[in-house]
Chain A
Amino acid sequence: MPPRTGRYVSDKKIDMKSLLRLLKYVYRIYHMRLFVVLVCIIVSAVSNVIVNSYMARLIDSVIVPGISSGLASVYVSLMKIIMTMAFIDVLGVLGASIYPQIMAVVGQGTIKHLRDDMFDNMETLPIRFFDSHTHGEIMSTYTNDVDTIRMLVGQSIPQLIQSVMSISVMIITMLNYSIWLSLVVAAVIYLMFTITKKFGGKSARYMKAQQMSLAKEEGFIEEMMEGMKVVKVFNHEEQAKIDFDRVNEQLFNDSNMANSTANMLMPILGNVGNIMYVLLAIVGGLLVVANVRNLTLTGFSPISIGVIISFLALSRQLSQTVSQISMQVSTVAMALAGSDRVFALIDEKSEEDEGYVMLVNAYKDENGEIHECEEKTGLWAWKHYHAQSDHSTTYVELKGDIQMVDVDFAYEPDKQVLYDISLYAHPGQKIAFVGATGAGKTTITNLINRFYDIPDGKIRYDGININKIKKPDLRRSLGMVLQDVNLFTGTVMDNIRYGKLDASDEECIAAAKLANADDFIRRLPDGYDTMLTGNGSQLSQGQRQLISIARAAVADPPVMILDEATSSIDTRTEALVQKGMDNLMKGRTVFVIAHRLSTVRNSDAIMVLDHGRIIERGTHDQLLDMKGTYYQLYTGAFELE
């Protein structure tokens, strides 16, 4: 196996690139909707601010003169202002009603597209990708990382747009009231951002520490829960408690710090806002008292109490908006990291396939020549179009003849795992690989079905260079049964049918009988309709292997690879399965890997592998006569695993 490289995104500095890409991604799918959203947000934000400016007008031009001249004289303008405010508010509410509805569609739609893109691409990735990343890591991209994007698109972005819009309008309005006072506000807002940045950095450090001790704690818990029975057998409970307390205390300390810092931000910013209010009142008061000429965007004008009051109200709103933005900072940062990983998975390079030889249904005419046909005939042929030479098409019957010539292989450039592997498997032969873990047995099978690729021409299938065969067609002609059985959520029948999607129930049952699985399946609560969940966790390892054999049997491929396929089946049951397997293998080329030598004894050829080289080859009897490694293995003088 190649080494795990860890995260497919290194801890490089997070930049805005992936955020930009995400926005483009959303824009590409939903540009019309986004436009409407933007308009709605702007309308709602602007209306909010404008309404407030009418408050000043209400006081200055209705209430103040009204007090001296009576209600009747100002009633018309009162109604006028109230109606205008109401009108603007209706617009604002309308905007605020429409955009969340659209954003629900956009947010969920975006993550559906992202998920689908991730999954679609993931399915095309080479096995190397899956071997070099932990499952938890890939899963976390689908769950945690996508979730951060959902938060960003659905909540943070609209809120940020709204905040920015509001702030811009507020700033303009403020400048319009008084540039002097605006300078005070600018200074305080700058202070608020500085605090956020400082606190944000501190809190990010604590968060990281918290994440690390959380991971440590979870690891500890996982290990202990998995090993709980061992703990019991050794009366190790008290020691486990002591160890746990240590890890638990560490997590407490770190998460206490992280949470404290995060909780503090709001009260601090809120009160900085309050202090700004006081500052403004003082400066404003001084301006009025000293009768300083007020500078606004439109020039000099006298400063009035009404202006100061409105300004104060605006400044409160502004500081609250800035606090809201600060609260979004961590969400945005998390989404940045998340979208980095999501796009990395979408961009991950697909498995290359330059093959063009296809597997087709065929029939033989009276002259024994092979022709392609649509319907299933039971006869398959390789359709080989010679693009380089004469543009002719030849058909080669699918027989299952495999040839390897001087195959070398390395998962990583300087760590060779296979040396000079040559072998010839005639159709219908059974070839076995024997050797210690890491000797390269599984690697050989990884090369035959092109889970990993090697340079041209070293492996030939029915005489055709396998690099020329389309990967899906090649794999369809090879059946695999692996030691680690993977079953899918669904019924037992569904799982067997996975081998051949159009197989009838009868075909599936016949395959199960062949694998000696029929018996136990019928004894399951719902027989063949029993639902399997969690990788068939309700079955024993041996039973799962039997189902996976049945699954391969129903696919009926000419070549089979059995990689420790019966390792968890006891010898008596194996003997029973063996009969079925022998039936299954009849007329097929079979590659068998097993550490139990009884499984490989009747092979046509046994290859003993050691550190990537074939050190002995021959039939069981020939190898025993050689009195070499195989003989030692067989007599038990050598340890395999």
Chain B
Amino acid sequence: MIKILIDKIGEYRKETILTPLFMVGEVALETLIPTIMAMLIDEMTGESMEPVIRYGSILLVLALLSLTCGAFSARFGAKASTGFAKNLRKDLFYKVQDFSFEDIDKFSSSSLVTRLTNDVSQIQMAFQMLIRMAVRTPLMLVFSVIMAFRINHQMSMIFLAIIPVLGIGLYVIFQTAHPIFKRIFKKYDALNNSVQENVAGIRVVKSFVREDYEIEKFNKASEEVRSDFTRAERVLALNNPLQMLCIKTAKELICYFGAVIIIQSAATQLTTGQLSSLISYGVQVLVSMMMLSMVFIQISFSAEAASRICEVLTHKPSLVSPENGVKEVKDGSIVFDNVSFSYGAHASRDALSDIDLDIASGQTVGILGSTGSSKTTLIQLISRLYDASKGTVYVGGVDVRKYDLVTLRDAVSVVLQKNILFSGTIKDNLRWGNKDASDEEIERVCRLAQADEFIQQMPDKYDTMLTQGGTNVSGGQKQRLCIARALLKKPKILILDDSTSAVDTRTDALIRQAFREEIPDTTKIIIAQRVSSIEDADQIIVLDSGKIVERGNHEELMKLGGIYAEIYESQTKGKEEN
């Protein structure tokens, strides 16, 4: 995991290395400065300004150096960590682009969003901490101890005795607090989740008059979060007295023994100036210990985020384009040879079982079936959005697994049930189908999809901005734009997955007529709820629980008197009465 993350430093290696180096300089200077200050104090006798000026200028130079080191370390640290985050996000995003539908389902888009945003931010903070604070604090500790030893060995032993006490104390505190924190974060998430549900479902809450019930539920949950958090924080707050106690004890001891030594040796072994620097080194040692433990905690908190990110980075896409795949799709014929499919190995039943289909190039095929009958699953196998678990799907006479993926998907255009338009102009959105399409070409497909008319009525026509998700056009308009987008690809096979449900029947008929006249050679597969959308198809397939239960054209199926006939009756009953 760590190796994967280190790789992402990439072109920011220079900054990543320079940051700690400058940090070393900064810390060295910071520890040196008190020593010089001690010398200044010792030689300041009040008789001459010479030592003050001498040490004063040294100090000024050191302060400027330290400032320079600090500034560089700050800059490089920022650049390294934000650059690292940039690379991380980039690699994650690129990786996701290689994901198959199955991979996307597995991770879910919302979890991918969290990984690309929150998790990366967390890692970025941890990384900055790692190259700055995690270098600074141990160095501070070591330097301070060294400086203290240089001043006086015996006295430095005082720190060495106190360090383990503080260390063990801190360890115990964090060991106690960490599991509590881990547990409460779950409760805290649940609390926020309940707010979310109330905000989203306020109409339900209000219409069932459940305000008091919800308030009671919330107050109880929030009380639980409070008491747990308080407990955890109180444990953590023990840090403070522990730290103070250690520092103060060290100080008292230094003062006492320091004074004794100075007096007994007549200031030969230790001077008053050195005494005060010993104290400040002592404080620095103990404060560094505290900081170090904080840094450690922060970094360990981000371990989970790191593992979530690595999970994405190391995930092997379940579906990859074959090497030297076939680069041309001959025609729009489709064959399903005894195809079964199940979502994941653990699914209790097959979503599709034993499907045999033979569709000639240029045919129009209608698919009908109730919710959950796997209509969508069926058509997704054609452009290899999923791989069949058993059997083979052929397009243009070739096993879909042999095609280069881009070639296959350019030839098979799917208008997904869950239509999505992106923020940008209408033209931008349509050009997803073919980014080099000319304006004339775009208008042509829009006329085919019966979209040109309403686009022309918009204030900016083809340059009208769509909002995220295309919420500023109606459902029917959105569907027609999506069809136009798919047509722009000039596909050999066009698949409409319930893509005209919000379009009125007349327009729906016009679209189908345009298909017949303008793209007769394209194989068209139409999934619909409305019988009228598919009744004139060459072949109609009725799916039920993943099996083909009826097939034939309209007349044949009506004669059969099965599900198709039943649905047809129920949808047209009213009309015939009139």
Contacts of A67 in B (CB 8 A): 262-263, 266-267
Q: Can you list, as one digit per residue, whether each of B107-118 has a CB less than 8 Å from chain A (1) or not (0)?
A: 001101100110
**Interface hub of A86, A486, A620 (most chain B Cβ within 10 A):** A486
CB distance from A624 to the nearest CB of B (A): 5
Q: Can you list, as one digit per residue, whether each of A246-270 has a CB less than 8 Å from chain B (1) or not (0)?
A: 0011011001111110111011101
Does the CB pair B241–A259 fall under 8 Å?
no
Question: Considering the chains assembled together, what is the distance between the CA atoms of A316 and B566 in angstroms?
Answer: 90
Given A260-B74, A263-B77, A305-B46, 15 more A-B residue pairs with CB atoms under 8 Å apart are: A67-B263, A71-B263, A92-B248, A104-B233, A123-B198, A123-B215, A139-B199, A230-B416, A230-B432, A275-B63, A313-B276, A487-B201, A488-B194, A548-B204, A639-B502
CB distance from A564 to the nearest CB of B (A): 12
CB distance from B258 to the nearest CB of A (A): 8
Contacts of B230 in A (CB 8 A): 104-105, 108-109
Q: Does A585 contact B (CB under 8 A)?
A: no
Question: Considering the chains assembled together, what is the distance between the CA atoms of A281 and B414 in angstroms?
Answer: 80
CB distance from A232 to the nearest CB of B (A): 7
Q: Can you list, as one digit per residue, whether each of A561-593 has a CB less than 8 Å from chain B (1) or not (0)?
A: 000000011111101000000000000000000
Q: What would be 20 A-B contacts, judged by CB atoms less than 8 Å apart?
A: A78-B259, A93-B241, A104-B236, A104-B237, A108-B230, A119-B218, A123-B215, A218-B113, A221-B117, A233-B383, A252-B86, A270-B70, A274-B59, A285-B46, A285-B49, A286-B49, A289-B48, A476-B208, A486-B201, A570-B371
**Interface hub of A308, A313, A641 (most chain B Cβ within 10 A):** A641
Q: How many residues of B contact A (CB 8 A)?
A: 159
Per DSSP, chain A at the interface is helix
Question: Considering the chains assembled together, what is the distance between the CA atoms of A479 and B207 in angstroms?
Answer: 7
Question: Considering the chains assembled together, what is the distance between the CA atoms of A218 and B120 in angstroms?
Answer: 11
Q: Does B427 contact A (CB under 8 A)?
A: no
The stretch that binds A, out of B37-45, B137-145, B165-173, is B37-45
State whether A252 and B474 are in contact (beta carbons under 8 Å apart), knowing that A232-B101, A475-B206 are contacts in the complex.
Answer: no
Contacts of A111 in B (CB 8 A): 226
Q: Does B387 contact A (CB under 8 A)?
A: no
Contacts of A271 in B (CB 8 A): 63-64, 66-67, 70
Does the CB pair B41–A312 fall under 8 Å?
yes
Contacts of A575 in B (CB 8 A): 570
Q: Does B158 contact A (CB under 8 A)?
A: no
State whether A244 and B502 are in contact (beta carbons under 8 Å apart), knowing that A116-B218, A313-B276, A569-B371 are contacts in the complex.
Answer: no
Q: Can you list, as one digit per residue, whether each of B265-280 has a CB less than 8 Å from chain A (1) or not (0)?
A: 0110000110110011
Closest 5 CB pairs of A and B: A267-B70, A636-B505, A486-B201, A263-B74, A97-B241
Question: Considering the chains assembled together, what is the distance between the CA atoms of A289 and B46 in angstroms?
Answer: 5
Q: Can you list, as one digit per residue, whether each of B89-129 has a CB less than 8 Å from chain A (1) or not (0)?
A: 11001101111110010000110110011000000000010
Q: Does A333 contact B (CB under 8 A)?
A: no
Does the CB pair B63–A488 fall under 8 Å?
no
Question: Considering the chains assembled together, what is the distance between the CA atoms of A29 and B174 in angstroms?
Answer: 30
Q: Does B538 contact A (CB under 8 A)?
A: no
State whether A74 and B263 are in contact (beta carbons under 8 Å apart), knowing that A268-B70, A634-B575 are contacts in the complex.
Answer: yes
Does the CB pair B215–A100 fall under 8 Å?
no
CB distance from B349 to the nearest CB of A (A): 10
Question: Considering the chains assembled together, what is the distance between the CA atoms of A289 and B475 in angstroms?
Answer: 89
In chain B, residues 276-311, which have Cβ atoms closer than 8 Å to a Cβ of chain A?
276, 279-280
The stretch that binds B, out of A173-181, A234-242, A378-386, is A234-242
Q: Which residue of A lies closest to B235 (CB)?
A: A104
One of A51, A123, A636 near B214 (C-beta < 8 A): A123
Q: Does B532 contact A (CB under 8 A)?
A: yes
In chain B, residues 33-70, which have Cβ atoms closer than 8 Å to a Cβ of chain A?
33, 37, 40-41, 44-49, 52-53, 55-56, 59-60, 62-64, 66-67, 69-70
Q: Does A26 contact B (CB under 8 A)?
A: no
Does the CB pair A482–B203 fall under 8 Å?
yes
Q: Does A444 contact B (CB under 8 A)?
A: no
Q: Does B492 contact A (CB under 8 A)?
A: no
Q: Which residue of B lies closest to A303 (CB)?
A: B46
Q: Which residue of B lies closest to A59 (CB)?
A: B272
CB distance from B322 to the nearest CB of A (A): 16
Q: Does B468 contact A (CB under 8 A)?
A: yes
Question: Considering the chains assembled together, what is the distance between the CA atoms of A634 and B77 in angstroms?
Answer: 67
Question: Considering the chains assembled together, what is the distance between the CA atoms of A233 and B81 in angstroms?
Answer: 35
Question: Considering the chains assembled together, what is the distance between the CA atoms of A237 and B104 in angstroms?
Answer: 14
Q: Does B420 contact A (CB under 8 A)?
A: yes
Question: Considering the chains assembled together, what is the distance between the CA atoms of A434 and B41 in angstroms?
Answer: 91
Does the CB pair A480–B204 fall under 8 Å?
yes
Does the CB pair A256–B529 fall under 8 Å?
no
CB distance from B498 to the nearest CB of A (A): 10
Q: Does A63 contact B (CB under 8 A)?
A: yes
CB distance from A291 to the nearest CB of B (A): 9
Q: Does A227 contact B (CB under 8 A)?
A: yes
Q: Does B409 contact A (CB under 8 A)?
A: yes
State whether A449 and B207 are in contact (beta carbons under 8 Å apart), knowing that A93-B245, A641-B476 are contacts in the complex.
Answer: yes
Does the CB pair B208–A498 fall under 8 Å?
yes
Q: Which residue of A lies closest to B280 (CB)?
A: A316
Q: Does B506 contact A (CB under 8 A)?
A: yes
**Interface hub of B56, B199, B279 (most chain A Cβ within 10 A):** B199
In chain B, residues 483-524, which have Cβ atoms closer than 8 Å to a Cβ of chain A?
485, 489, 502-508
Contacts of B47 in A (CB 8 A): 289
Question: Considering the chains assembled together, what is the distance between the CA atoms of A274 and B33 in angstroms?
Answer: 8
**Interface hub of A120, A572, A575, A638 (most chain B Cβ within 10 A):** A572
Question: Considering the chains assembled together, what is the distance between the CA atoms of A244 and B96 in angstroms?
Answer: 12
Contacts of A551 in B (CB 8 A): 208
Contacts of A598 in B (CB 8 A): 570-571, 574
Contacts of B116 in A (CB 8 A): 221, 225
Contacts of B566 in A (CB 8 A): 572
CB distance from B390 to the nearest CB of A (A): 23
Q: Does B193 contact A (CB under 8 A)?
A: yes
Does the CB pair A230–B420 fall under 8 Å?
yes
Q: Which residue of A lies closest to B77 (CB)?
A: A263
Question: Considering the chains assembled together, what is the distance between the CA atoms of A241 and B529 in angstroms?
Answer: 36
One of B37, B41, B208, B241 near A475 (C-beta < 8 A): B208
Does the CB pair A278–B56 fall under 8 Å?
yes
Does the CB pair A127–B203 fall under 8 Å?
yes
Question: Considering the chains assembled together, what is the distance between the CA atoms of A542 and B567 in angstroms?
Answer: 18
Contacts of B263 in A (CB 8 A): 62-63, 66-67, 70-71, 74
Q: Does B255 contact A (CB under 8 A)?
A: yes
CB distance from A178 to the nearest CB of B (A): 14
Does the CB pair A570–B211 fall under 8 Å?
no
**Interface hub of B45, B207, B244, B385 (most chain A Cβ within 10 A):** B207
CB distance from A546 to the nearest CB of B (A): 10
Does the CB pair B52–A285 fall under 8 Å?
yes
Does the CB pair B201–A488 fall under 8 Å?
yes
**Interface hub of A135, A154, A234 (most chain B Cβ within 10 A):** A234
One of B190, B204, B218, B574 near A486 (C-beta < 8 A): B204
Contacts of A109 in B (CB 8 A): 226, 230
One of A59, A92, A486 near B200 (C-beta < 8 A): A486
Contacts of B553 in A (CB 8 A): none
Contacts of B218 in A (CB 8 A): 116, 119
CB distance from B81 to the nearest CB of A (A): 7
Q: Which residue of B lies closest to A135 (CB)?
A: B199
Contacts of B240 in A (CB 8 A): 96-97, 100
State whether A235 and B410 are in contact (beta carbons under 8 Å apart), knowing that A570-B529, A638-B504, A640-B504 are contacts in the complex.
Answer: yes
Contacts of A419 in B (CB 8 A): none
Q: Can you list, as one digit per residue, whether each of A83-100 has a CB less than 8 Å from chain B (1) or not (0)?
A: 001100100110011001
Does the CB pair B532–A281 fall under 8 Å?
no
Contacts of B193 in A (CB 8 A): 489
Contacts of B222 in A (CB 8 A): 112, 115-116, 119
Does the CB pair A108–B237 fall under 8 Å?
no
**Interface hub of A116, A139, A228, A624 (most chain B Cβ within 10 A):** A228
Does the CB pair B422–A227 fall under 8 Å?
yes
Contacts of A540 in B (CB 8 A): 371-372
Q: Does B187 contact A (CB under 8 A)?
A: no
